Amino acid sequence: MYVAAKGGEAAIDAAHDLLARDRRGDGAVPDLAIAQIRGQLSLAVDRVMNEGGLYDPDLAALAVKQAAGDLVEAVFLLRAFRTTLPRFGYSRPVETAAMQADRRISATFKDVPGGQLLGPTFDYTHRLLDFALEADAEPSEAPDRGSPAPTAGGDRLPQILDLLNQEGLIEAADGAGAEDGEPPDLTREPLRFPAGRQLRLQALARADEGFLLALGYSTQRGYGHSHPFVGELRQGRVSVEFVPPELGEPVVLGEVELTECQLVTQFKGSASEPPAFTRGYGLVFGRAERKAMAMALVDRALRAPDLGEPVTAPAQDEEFVLSHADNVEASGFTQHLKLPHHVDFQAELSHLRLLRAEAEGRAGEPDGEPAGENQE
Amino acid sequence: MTAAVQPAPLDQPGERDRSYNFAFLDEQTKRMIRRSLLKALAIPGHQVPFASREMPLPYGWGTGGIQVTAAVIGPQDRLKVIDQGADDTTNAVSIRRFFRRMTGVALTTSTAEATIVQTRHRVPEAPLREGQVIVFQVPIPEPLRWLEPRETETRKMHAYAEYGAMHVKLYEDIARQGHIATTYDYPVLVNGRYLMRPSPIPKFDTRKLHRSPAIQLFGAGREKRIYALPPYTDVVPLDFEDHPFRVQSWRQACARCGATDSYLDELIVDDRGTRRFVCSDTDYCEGRMSTGQGRQGP
């Protein structure tokens, strides 16, 4: 009898069949259409696009369907597709000041130029299960709101933190070097430390939402405290412009929906700098406020060394944060423990037996067990 | 009506999936990996950062090894993939299928016939020869990682060849247990210069790396590092004069083929906990069986 090694081929095929069956679920229930996922699970689609690092709602919806709703698995599917795409250049930095915002709030000022616009938000809903949604709905028009959804920013919507800057009370946005030629790209170059803010922001935008949320939260609880305020949160659509080298001037490739968070945080000042407000920045695809805010908290925390602050908390430690923020990496390496490890385990087993045999004063071992280690 | 085209047998070159580039990666990415490989071969044992790509298999499943193989494989190659020494473990099957689909190359389980062997956790028992490439899947490339978690620090330690911490660790094992406690992924000094992790092969296999005629390539996808051993490179396990490097050995021979010189897997064969020991390297075991060297199990 030889049990262990054979059967891999048939087992994999059978496992894939079972997976496909489970994903489809009850055949009497209609199959989910991609348009349904895109339209009705749009926040799941947004999360997959963010962490997948690819703006394509249809493909993200397909990934959600294929992954049976496992969003980290869907992120992985999208990343594995993204990796096959050629890169033909880099867009110009998007101008969020020119955003057609459907939500824009500031927690630091009661009223702001351009106005506060609540937009679609869970913030003030009562979290009571709405049993009306249980019933199968016939196709219908979207609930009538009487008028088109309002948007702000017919003209440019000023960045609220820039208003503080007029008084010199807040550091200028550094733009993270956005105009200095080609940006660094962590999908094309391995991450090295220190990474710098541009790469940090890239990594945070792709980072696992749950991980960022916990890290950001930890800074609010004393592990790297920075007294944050939401200076501005806006979401809406912006144009993406690209300058083809043969044309020499920008053409609009299309629009993307973004959520941007600008935090105002304290800075006590240093020997060379007077006290001022500082910034934390978050920018993500789609509607993903929680992620954008967590990103901004962590961005600010990671700036501690640049601002001469002591690095005492995990969220301030660039190498710790960036090395563990990617859920495709983390999920893979955590779950690889399911792969067979019996060769290494055998090595540990025979070593342990040797140590125990020695501890018990036995010179040899019963036949059938490893004799431990022989000098080579 | 035309007769259905029979797919080519797997030990012969066959069709590949033409909706992807040959070996999945685009040519620019392959060139990037090849440049890293050349640098790695020029500085044996040194970890070269490379722009590791997301692959359709998860991190931890061998994405580094898969990218290295994808960068060096050609249509005429003959690929062998093993995990824990066996060709038929699920992960080996999965990786082999991936390359069959993406390249159409001939597959083999024979160590001797393979031009490329991708492996996880073992070095085949049969000696490798000149012209062969063995690709190791590496989970953690940094030998100093458990001593110093920071990349910024370990890079300096390598630059200064400051490896005293590792000797201290091995010494502490001996002081506590009477033995060096590292049983796999045993640290080695390469070409007298760089400390290297040989990937989690049992230390039984460590000596096989020393002056191997084959090209030995190591890929760590999640950690984005490549390193390499050109043929006939000195690979010396760290040890002490009074505590020389030792490897595992067994009282028993393989219960199938009777081999006494191979690394054995321990199988629990019934509810009473009866153990049997068989070769971890299935190709080696099959080879001995087919040439009549095997023996009947009890």
Q: Which residue of B has its CA nearest to A73?
A: B58
Residue B297: per-residue pLDDT: 42
Mean pLDDT to the nearest integer, A52-57: 97
Q: Is the pLDDT of residue A271 over 80?
A: no
Contact A44, A37 (CB under 8 A): yes
Q: Among B90, B181, B282, whose Cβ lies nearest the Cβ of A12?
A: B90
Q: Which residue of A has its CA nearest to B52?
A: A190
A66 contacts on B by Cβ (under 8 Å): none
Q: Among A190, A334, A365, whose Cβ lies nearest the Cβ of B50?
A: A190
Residues 4 through 43 of chain B touching chain A, CB cutoff 8 Å: 20-21, 24, 26, 28
pLDDT tens digit sequence for B62-106: 999 999 999 999 999 999 999 999 999 889 999 999 999 999 999
Asked whether the beta carbons of residue A80 and residue B56 sit closer than 8 angstroms, the reply is yes
Q: Is the pLDDT of residue B14 over 90?
A: yes
Mean pLDDT to the nearest integer, A82-94: 89
Q: Which residues of A193-206 are buried (b: 16+ CB within 10 A; e: fewer)?
A: eebebbbbbbbbbb
Asked whether the beta carbons of residue B250 and residue A9 sit closer than 8 angstroms, the reply is no
Q: How far is CA A296 from CA A48, A215, A282, A302, in A?
A: 19, 11, 4, 10
Q: Which residue of B has its CA nearest to A343?
A: B84
A193 contacts on B by Cβ (under 8 Å): 150-152
DSSP secondary structure of B183-200:
-BS--EEETTTEEE---S
Asked whether the beta carbons of residue A8 and residue B60 sit closer than 8 angstroms, the reply is no
Nearest in space to A336 (alpha carbons), one of B58, B146, B82:
B58
Residues 203 through 262 of chain B touching chain A, CB cutoff 8 Å: 203-204, 207, 222, 224-225, 244-252, 256
Q: Is the pLDDT of residue A3 over 50?
A: no
Contact A78, A91 (CB under 8 A): no
Q: Is the pLDDT of residue A374 over 80?
A: no
Least confident interval from A140-154, A339-353, B111-125, B131-145: A140-154
SS3 B116: strand
Residue A154: per-residue pLDDT: 57
Residue A17: per-residue pLDDT: 95
Mean pLDDT to the nearest integer, A99-107: 92
Residues 97 through 116 of chain B touching chain A, CB cutoff 8 Å: none
Mean pLDDT to the nearest integer, A335-349: 91
Mean pLDDT to the nearest integer, A350-371: 71
Q: Which of A170-174, A361-365, B141-145 has the highest mean pLDDT?
A: B141-145
Specify the length of chain B in residues.
298
Asked whether the beta carbons of residue B90 and residue A344 sit closer than 8 angstroms, the reply is no
pLDDT tens digit sequence for B201-229: 999 999 999 999 999 999 999 999 999 99
Q: How far is CA B223 from CA A200, A202, A204, in A?
A: 17, 17, 17
Query: What are all long-range contacts of A177-186, with beta carbons under 8 Å and residues at least 24 apart?
Result: A178/A93, A179/A93, A182/A90, A183/A90
B210 CA to centre of own chain: 14
The fraction of chain B above a pLDDT of 90, given in percent, is: 85
Q: Among A192, A358, A375, whose Cβ lies nearest the Cβ of B178?
A: A358
Q: Is the pLDDT of residue B1 over 70?
A: no
Q: Which of A95-109, A158-172, B112-126, B265-279 has the highest mean pLDDT?
A: B112-126
Asked whether the beta carbons of residue B59 and residue A348 sit closer than 8 angstroms, the reply is no
Q: Which residue of A has its CA nearest to B53?
A: A83
Asked whether the beta carbons of residue B249 and residue A11 sit closer than 8 angstroms, the reply is no
- Other Cβ atoms less than 10 A from the Cβ of B273: the count is 7
Whole-number Å distance between alpha carbons of A176 and A161: 16
Asked whether the beta carbons of residue B224 and residue A1 sit closer than 8 angstroms, the reply is no
Domains, chain B, with CATH or none:
27-141+191-234 (3.40.50.11310), 249-298 (no CATH)
Answering whether pTM is above 0.95, one says: no
Asked whether the beta carbons of residue A349 and residue B266 sit closer than 8 angstroms, the reply is yes
Contact A325, A208 (CB under 8 A): yes
Q: Among A83, A319, A350, whose Cβ lies nearest the Cβ of B55?
A: A83
Chain A and chain B share a number of CB contacts under 8 A equal to 187
Residue A2: band (very low, low, confident or very high) from pLDDT cuts 50, 70, 90: very low
B64 contacts on A by Cβ (under 8 Å): none
Q: Which residue of B has its CA nearest to A327?
A: B59
Q: Among B61, B225, B277, whose Cβ lies nearest the Cβ of A339?
A: B61
Contact A82, A59 (CB under 8 A): no
Residue to mutate among B30, B59, B152, B277, with most A CBs inside 10 A, is: B59
Cis preceding-peptide flag for A194 (omega within 30 of 0): yes
Residues 263 through 292 of chain B touching chain A, CB cutoff 8 Å: 263-267, 269, 275, 277-278, 280, 282
A82 contacts on B by Cβ (under 8 Å): 54
Amino acid code (one letter) for A323: S
Residue B3: band (very low, low, confident or very high) from pLDDT cuts 50, 70, 90: low
**Placement of tokens 């994999």 in the chain:** A12
B58 contacts on A by Cβ (under 8 Å): 76, 328, 331-332, 335-336
Residue B79: per-residue pLDDT: 98
B173 has a chain A CB within 8 A of its CB: no
Whole-number Å distance between alpha carbons of A363 and A56: 66
B49 has a chain A CB within 8 A of its CB: yes
Asked whether the beta carbons of residue A8 and residue B89 sit closer than 8 angstroms, the reply is yes
Nearest in space to A198 (alpha carbons), one of A85, A90, A311:
A90
B146 Cβ contact partners less than 8 Å away, ≥ 6 residues apart:
B169
A136 Cβ contact partners less than 8 Å away, ≥ 6 residues apart:
none
The fraction of chain A above a pLDDT of 70, given in percent, is: 88
Q: Which residue of A has its CA nearest to B244?
A: A375
Helix, strand, coil abundance in chain B, percent, nearest 5: 25, 20, 55
Residue A277: per-residue pLDDT: 87
Whole-number Å distance between alpha carbons of B88 and B96: 10
Residue A363: per-residue pLDDT: 57
Q: Is the pLDDT of residue A255 over 60?
A: yes
B248 contacts on A by Cβ (under 8 Å): 346-347, 350-351, 370, 372-373
Mean pLDDT to the nearest integer, A227-232: 89
Amino acid code (one letter) for B164: G
Residue A161: per-residue pLDDT: 83
Residue A202: per-residue pLDDT: 95
Whole-number Å distance between alpha carbons of B63 and B53: 8
Asked whether the beta carbons of residue B93 and residue A194 sit closer than 8 angstroms, the reply is no
Asked whether the beta carbons of residue A329 and residue B204 sit closer than 8 angstroms, the reply is no
Is beta strand B188-190 parallel, antiparallel or unpaired with respect to A100-105? unpaired
Q: Which residue of B has its CA nearest to A366?
A: B251
Q: Among A192, A194, A334, whose Cβ lies nearest the Cβ of B49?
A: A192
Whole-number Å distance between alpha carbons of B72 and A136: 55
Q: Which residue of A has its CA nearest to B173?
A: A355
SS3 B52: coil
Mean pLDDT to the nearest integer, A18-36: 95
Q: Is the pLDDT of residue A153 over 70?
A: no
Q: Which two tokens stand for residue B214?
A: 């084959």
Contact B226, B50 (CB under 8 A): yes
The fraction of chain B above a pLDDT of 70, given in percent, is: 97
Asked whether the beta carbons of residue B265 and residue A342 sit closer than 8 angstroms, the reply is yes
Sign of CA dihedral B65, B68, B71, B75: negative
Mean pLDDT to the nearest integer, A79-98: 90
- ipTM of the complex in this document: 0.77
Name the E strands within chain B: 48-49, 78-83, 106-107, 116-120, 133-137, 188-190, 194-196, 215-220, 225-229, 235-237, 246-250, 264-268, 275-279
Residue B289: per-residue pLDDT: 93
Please provide residue A259's backbone torsions phi and psi, each rounded to the nearest 5 degrees.
Answer: -120, 130
Give CA angle at B137 (B132, B143), nearest 5°.
110
Q: Among B83, B251, B267, whose Cβ lies nearest the Cβ of A4?
A: B267
**Placement of tokens 């992985």 in the chain:** A76
Q: Is the pLDDT of residue B298 over 60?
A: no
- Which of the residues of B are catalytic? 45, 254, 257, 279, 285
B56 has a chain A CB within 8 A of its CB: yes
Residue B171: per-residue pLDDT: 95
Asked whether the beta carbons of residue A336 and residue B60 sit closer than 8 angstroms, the reply is yes
